[in-house]
Amino acid sequence: MISMADHLRSQEYERVRHSKSMLSEPRLSDEDAARLVEAYERSDTSAADYLALITENRPFTPPATTHVVAIDSGTYCASVAMPVVFNSFLQDHGNQVVQELLSRYEVALVEKAPAGGIFVHVRSAEAEKRLVGQEVNLLGRKFKIKRQSPFDSKFYLDVFGVRSTAVANDLFMGLAQLGARPFFLTPRDVNMDAHVATPTWRFYFGQEEPKSAWLRYQSVGVWAEVLHCPWKTR
């Protein structure tokens, strides 16, 4: 006898299989693939020239830059496979504006946000503006689309053992002297009702990746030594 858990699991597997059928890996034609094989096996093509050859023939390439909005679904989709979320967004969104943008290939990328929710990357600022405030169906529930927070895409460093604002400010100045001026700093864990915090501060920086100048240090863990501070980083 099949248990309810097994039945639900089989339904989930079926949804994943159905969703994956909507996705495909764009492959080269046999002729273009043969050209790549020949260039690769000759071993006399520079990496830059070989990359240009790939780029020239690739049947699909995401846009170099996008504008991002967020479906405010919190952790609702966290445990659901991405192909299922992708399928639900494409098929069940129930929104005319979204459908129009999809038909014009304005939607470039859909991904889970690290802190919860779904990021939707679109190709223009106009598409971003039109989506903000819209309501979409996702996995059987309705959610609002909002602007992406400026902090969502920033590289950050957490420093623990910082027990005062004065110390945090000193760290800010030390990082700035290293050429890594933070964009923002704040206590990371705060109970706003009681105004009680942990001694961990988060330093946001103005880009999505660490600056190349930072890479001379083997890890962010040595920053404390460079700054002559006893605190550790993570």
Residue 8 in this model has a pLDDT that exceeds 70:
no
pLDDT digits (tens, 9 = 90+) for 117-126: 999 999 999 9
Helix (H, G, I), strand (E, B) or coil at 92: helix
Domain edges within the chain: 27-61, 67-147, 156-216
Record the pTM.
0.64
What is the sign, positive or negative, of the torsion defined by CA atoms of 51, 55, 56, 57? positive
Q: What share of the chain in percent tops pLDDT 90?
A: 45
How do beta strands 232-233 and 156-160 pair? Answer: antiparallel
> Which band of pLDDT confidence, cut at 50, 70 and 90, is reported for residue 99?
very high
Measured torsion, CA atoms of residues 93, 98, 104, 107, in degrees rounded to the nearest 10: -80
pLDDT digits (tens, 9 = 90+) for 10-69: 555 555 555 455 677 778 889 999 999 999 998 888 899 989 988 888 888 878 778 999
Give me the pLDDT at residue 232, please: 41
Give the CATH architecture of domain 67-147.
2-Layer Sandwich (3.30)
Give me the pLDDT at residue 1, please: 55
Measured distance CA(225)–CA(230) in Å, rounded? 7
Nearest partner of 120 among 174, 69, 82, judged by Cα: 69
Q: What share of the chain in percent tops pLDDT 70?
A: 78
| Angle between helix 4-20 and 82-92 (nearest 10) | 70
